[in-house]
Every structure is written in structure tokens, then in C-alpha cells.
Structure 1
Amino acid sequence: MSKFSRLGNDLYSGRKSVDFVGKTRIWYAVSGLIIIAAVLGLYFRGLNFGLEFRGGAQFTVSVPTSEVTQANADKLRDDVSATGIASAQQVVVTTAGKNSIIVETEPVTPTESNQIEVAIEKSVGVTHGDISTDEIGPSWGKEVAKRSAIGLVVFLVLVVFLIWGYFRQWKMSVAAMVALAHDLVITVGIYALSGFEVTPATVTGVLTILGFSLYDTVVVFDKVRENTKNLRASRMTYPEAANLAVNQTLVRSINTSIVALIPVGAILYVGAVQLGSGDLKDLSLALFVGMAAGAYSSIFIATPLLAHMKSSEAANAELEKRIRTRRAHDVDRYAQVPSYADDLPIAADPDVVPPSDARAEPAARPTGGNRPQPSSDATGRGRVVPQSRGPVRPSSSSGRVQPTRQAKSKRGKK
């Protein structure tokens, strides 16, 4: 644990760093493959909408624990389909918990419901009191879907304005929304591939993961804003400052995600393995997949995308060019020294007097040549040459005897 703490300190101080922003192509490729798999699952398998959305009848059969087997479930499916009822041809039979088997059909009439109950009694040898029937109309499911869609749209609009108003940067809102769409597509695709039913509990889980994903993204963005507040003083480019922010919040994101995923994973195991089908299983699967995808997107998608958009701005691009030039100069200080070529003009040595006429005035320093000429202005150390107010004229006191300083012993004596 101490090594993990030291790693967190090194990441926060910058002594160690993982290049999340610089390897955007790798992260985008990984996310692209996952999204393609999710879209293919949606296209070929589709979502398995629960009874609450499509409507129908549900028969819950109470049997001893020893009879809750897949063999009895298959037998019930065949016997219910053999009734010849059109609504019972696409019957779904699943085990639920330790003493229940659930039979789901399309909407049926009261007479057809009685026929199905008789078929169930003969199939597994139960009485009429061991069967409970629930009928759900499709209108209720449509109302749930409609209200869920309205809630999702309102949530997204409010989040966009909240992030925009808090960070004062619309590009952060765009990056956060892209990461959020990434999480939603992956979660829905996993549901399609797993075959889990989409129930109102699933909708609740999906709306919950939206908040979790944005929470993690906003924390990282807040650190990005802190690091990029004064880039010129820090002498870092925007992608470097954003990458430092991800590294500084990496340990916190990992710890938060693990702490949140452990109990959700336990609920998923209990709901899917111990209890069978149910709202608990649908809710926990949406939460588990969404939380994992949200932790991934806040680190590997949102921040690299934000850094890519911000680095294209003129001010950040100019700063990045200046910093790279300065770093190249620091590595090799003589890299910018001009090279001399054969076609440069030849100038005489300014410190040598021509030998032809020794009595002549010293030659003036040449203005051309390879040697830089000193400026006539006094420069350096903050000195500025004052401007002259006019030519120097003879003073009226130039002919007078000027006082001189005498010794103390001769002062006052004539």
C-alpha cells in the first residue's frame, strides 16, 4: 500500500507520468472497437424489452427448490406453446430464485389465461394456488419510455449549461457530452449482447450512471483548469498541463471506481446468480457497466479530446511553438548560431591601423562585415542616455579664479 501511495505522490508531483493525452489514437481505437461491438449487438440481437415495455401476461409458478431446473423450464415452454394459443407461441420461461419459475407470454384474454394455467398445472404438477398471474398493458411501458426520454433530454441540457457556466469553456461541455454518449452506447450494447431484459430498473440504472460519469469527468476538468490557468508561467503546453491533471487525479479516480464497483458487482452476482431474473439484476448490470465505462471515458476520452480541441486554438498553438523552440535552444544553445559561408563579405580587422600611413587618423570602424557593431546608445544595466538640451557654450565664470580647498590649519589666514 505504501508503494501505491508513493506512486500517487510521484504522479501528482510530475516525477512519474503516464502519457494519456499523447496516445489518443490508441484510446480512440480501443473505444472504437468496443462501440462497434455494441452497435453490432444492437443491430443483430436488439434489446430484450421486458414485459413492462412490450405488455403481456406473466405466470409465476411456485415449485420446490429441487424442481427449479432448466429441464422443467424447457418442459413448460414446450407445453405452453402446445396449447395452440397465438399469443403463447413466443413464450419466455426463466427461473427466478430458488423456488420460482416465470412464464411470460404476449397479451392474452381471460379464457386463454385459464388455458395456459391448466397447461402449467399438468406440466410440472402444481395446483392452481401455486400459480400467480399478472397482466401488464403495453401503454404503461410506453409511458415509462416516454418519461425516461424526457428526463434524459432535460438532464443533458442542464448539464451542458452547468459545465459551460462553471468552467466558462464550451469545449469542456462538448468533451463531457462525447464521453457521456460513449458510456451510454457501451452500456446499451452490453445489454443487447448479454440478453438481459430492459425493465424500468434498467432505465433507473442508466440515468444513475449519467451522474456518476459526469462527476468523474468534472473532477478531472477542474484540475485541468487549475493547471492551465497560467500556462506561460508554468512553461507547459496545454496538452502537457491536461496530461498532468489526469495523472494527478488518476489514483483518486481508481480508488473511487473500485470502491463503487465492488458493492455493485456483489449486487449483480446476487441478482443474476442467486435470485435469477429480477429488477435487482437489471439495475446492477446497468450500474456496473456504466460506472466502469464512466471511469474509462473520463481519463481516456474526455480529457484527451479536450486537449486536442484546445491545442488547435491560435494562442495555445503559438505558445506550444514558442515552448518547443525554447526547449530546443536549451538542449543545444549553439543550435541557433548562424553558420558562415564562403560568399559572406570580407571586412578589415577593426582593431588594426593600415600600415601605409602611420600618421593618418585611425581608420573608422567598418559598418559592414561579419562582426556586429556596437550601438551608440548606452545600454545594459538600465542606463539611459539623457537627451542634450543644446550646444555647450562658454561660461561667464570661465576667467575667474576658482576656489580651492585648503588645509584646516591655513583656513582663515591671509
Structure 2
Amino acid sequence: MMSLSALGRDLHSGQRSLNVIGLRKIFLGAAISVMLIAGLATAILGINPGIEFRGGSEFTVSNVSSTEQQPAYDALKSAGVEQGVRVSTVGTSAVRVQTQQLGDSDTYRVNEALAKAYGVSEADVTSTFIGPAWGSGVTQKALMSLGIFLLFVSLLMTIYFRNWRMAAAALFALMHDMFVLAGFFALTQIEVSPATVIGFLTILAYSLYDTVVVFDKVRELTKGYTAQYRFSFGELVNLAVNQTFVRSINTSVVALLPVTSILVIGTWLLGAGTLLDIALALFVGMIAGAFSSLFIAPPTLTWLHDRAKRGAEHNAAVQARRALQAEGSTEDKEHVATAAAVRVAPMQSGEHKGQKAQPRRKPRSKR
């Protein structure tokens, strides 16, 4: 079985090739379909905002012998509070209860009912209140942060690559990640907290970094590509994707390992708390970001390039040259048959070319 390092070496040299650009219609069609489904799910089901966004009252019952949630629902029902109730476990000895906005008298009754239901003193039941104005402010700041992030990303990508098509392709990949993450939280109805927003912005930066690495290789291989007619722009982009494929996979796996650990710890040991909020956003976003950097951003860049006059003319010139060579000698036909497999990587160090390739010394003249 081929090792990952051997696969990466073959992909880098062109001995093996993943036809990502050749299948760009499939990848872009799948991306657009996923974005439409995620958008519909978000519009129909909506996002489940946490108490920090919607406002309300929160109670924490500590030092409980059992973290079952049903006693909390029964206690709130006996206190006359049944709407907007959400109960979750915090760690191994605490229960968190969230309700709609309650007055002082209702808060006191809920405190007393929860203490009685779990067999703890009223001092072990703490309550906090979050007003709607504060939640609205958090929502506005989160949306403002997202807008500023996308604006600066657009400017940075355009200035860094000096190519607006690369910036547009990177932004489309980011939009895909945003839709996937929003659709995931809409379908699962998991609460979105400020920690989730932090994870969301972190994922966008992570995905952008991965895309920049791929596009750096694209810029390196396509520099001055119009001076040659052996390979098209899309074939060179495909080689760039292959040369960065294993690196992107390794980076994603290494990043997912601690996130998975946090996700497991947050779910099974600490309960549905802040760790679970941010870990889920990171876990789903990293997978979506790794996919979009390899299979969405490069095909989008190639599609934009091929629609331009310069790109279309160069592609036509490459195809015309290959057609002429196909009608020529056997050597030319073999060249055309292998032209799609772009092999531009240098020879491996230490490789022997054979005796015929060694320099020959001129014989010394005999006196």
C-alpha cells in the first residue's frame, strides 16, 4: 500500500494526478447545490440563538447528585414557567436552565423550585439576567465583525496576488464555508453563542490561509505561462492543487486532532458548554475549509480565467498546437498523449541519469 509521503511525492512530480480542474463542473455544481440547501435550511428553520443573543434569565444549579434534566422541566412547570425553557448539563455536578425574561417574583419561585427538585440549598442556585438590548448589541457587533473581515480579506487578496480573480475565487470559497456552517447549525438547531461566532471567524481565517497556500503555488507555476503553448492555465492550476494536496490534508488532520479532543471532552465530560459551542464550529468549518481550498477555489479561478479573452485565446492556441502535433510524427503524437499530465517538478536529488549523461573529458594530447 502506498504511503502518504510516496503519494505526495508522485502528486508533486506529476507521476500521479488528481483531475480536479477537469472535474470542475462537478465540484462547482456540488458547491452551489450545498450552498442552496444550506441557505434554504437557514431561511426556513432559522438559527437557534443562545441566551446572549435573545436575552432571558439563566439559572445554574450546582452540587447536584444527578444531572437529569427532567426534574428541571417539572420544577419550572410547577413554578408556572413553561415557555422558552432550555435545560443543559454543565460538567458532572451542575445543571443550567434558561428561560424567557422573568420578573423578581418569578425568579424567586424558580430558584426555590429548582433547589427543591434537585435536593440542594437555595444558595446552590444562582440566577443571572441578560437584557434584550445587550443581546441585540452582541448580534450587531458579530455581523459588523463579519463584514469588516470580508472587506479586509477582499482588499488583502487583491493587493497580495495583484489578481482580482484570485480574490474572487477565495471569497467564493469563504462563502461556501459560511453557508455550510450556517446550514449545519440550522439543521441541528444547536445553540449559537458568542463562542460559536469566535469559532466561525477563526474558521474563515483558517480556510483563507489554506487557500492562499494553494494560490501561491498557482502563481508560481503560472508565472509567464502565456510564453509557452505546451500546457494550458487549467493544467498548471491542476498541478498546483496536486502539489499542495497532501500538505493541505496533513495540516487539516493535525488541526482536527485537538479540536476533536475538545469536542469529546466538551460533550462527554464537561457537558454542553462553551467548549462544545466553539469546538463544533471549528470541527465542521475545518473540514469545509479544507475541501473548499482544494476543490472549489482553484476550479473557480480556472473558470474565471477561461472566460477572459486572454485565457480563451491561450487555451485555443494550446489546443491548436496539439492538433498540429497530433498530425505530425510519432514523437509529436507521444508528446500530445502525455501533455495533459503536466510534469514540471525537478528531478529528485541523488537520482542517477546514467553514464551517457555524464560529462566527458577531452583526451590529453600526447607530446
TM-score in same-fold range (> 0.5): yes
- Counterpart in the other structure of 2:138: 144
RMSD of the TM alignment (CA)? 1.9
- Counterpart in the other structure of 1:18: 18
Aligned pairs for 1:337-348 (under 5 A) are none
- For 1:81, give the aligned amino acid: K
Contact 1:18 1:247 in 2 (8 A): yes
Which of these residues, 160, 164, 179, is aligned with residue 185 of structure 1? 179
Provide, for residues 128-155 of structure 1, a one-character-per-residue CA deviation record: whole Å limited to 9, x for no partner: 1221111111222222221222222122
Aligned length: 329
- Counterpart in the other structure of 2:28: 28
- Counterpart in the other structure of 2:79: 83
- Counterpart in the other structure of 2:70: 74
Pick closer, same or farther for the CA change 1:323–1:217 going to 2, 3 Å: same
Ranges in structure 1 where 5+ consecutive residues have no aligned partner: 336-414
**Larger helix proportion, structure 1 or 2?**
2
Q: Distance in 1 between matches of 2:83 and 2:138?
A: 26
1:265 lines up with 2:264 in the alignment: no
Provide, for residues 374-393 of structure 1, a one-character-per-residue CA deviation record: whole Å limited to 9, x for no partner: xxxxxxxxxxxxxxxxxxxx
Aligned pairs for 1:68-217 (under 5 A) are 68-69=67-68, 73-85=69-81, 88-217=82-211
Which of these residues, 311, 326, 330, is aligned with residue 331 of structure 1? 326
- For 2:90, give the aligned amino acid: A
- For 1:4, give the aligned amino acid: L
Provide, for residues 251-304 of structure 1, a one-character-per-residue CA deviation record: whole Å limited to 9, x for no partner: 111111111011111111111222111111111111111111111111111110
- Counterpart in the other structure of 2:306: 311
1:43 lines up with 2:43 in the alignment: yes
User: Is the partner of 1:61 in helix, strand or coil?
Assistant: strand
Displacement of 1:334 after TM fit? 7.6
Contact 2:64 2:120 in 1 (8 A): no
Contact 2:229 2:321 in 1 (8 A): no
TM-score normalised by L of structure 1 = 0.76
Q: Which deviates more from structure 2 when the two are superposed, residues 30-39 or residues 215-224?
A: 30-39
Contact 1:81 1:89 in 2 (8 A): no
- For 1:51, give the aligned amino acid: I
Q: Distance in 2 between matches of 1:35 and 1:315?
A: 30
Q: Distance in 1 between matches of 2:161 and 2:324?
A: 35
1:290 lines up with 2:285 in the alignment: yes
User: Is the partner of 2:15 in helix, strand or coil?
Assistant: coil
Q: Distance in 1 between matches of 2:83 and 2:310?
A: 66
Displacement of 1:63 after TM fit? 4.1
Displacement of 1:74 after TM fit? 1.9
Q: Which has the higher contact order (CA 8 A, sep 6+)?
A: 2
- Counterpart in the other structure of 2:62: 62
Displacement of 1:156 after TM fit? 1.3
Displacement of 1:332 after TM fit? 2.7
Displacement of 1:2 after TM fit? 7.0
1:276 lines up with 2:271 in the alignment: yes
Q: Distance in 1 between matches of 2:275 and 2:13?
A: 43
TM-score normalised by L of structure 2 = 0.85
Q: Which deviates more from structure 2 when the two are superposed, residues 55-64 or residues 39-48?
A: 39-48
- Counterpart in the other structure of 1:242: 237
- For 1:189, give the aligned amino acid: G
Ranges in structure 2 where 5+ consecutive residues have no aligned partner: 331-367
Q: Distance in 2 between matches of 1:59 and 1:254?
A: 43
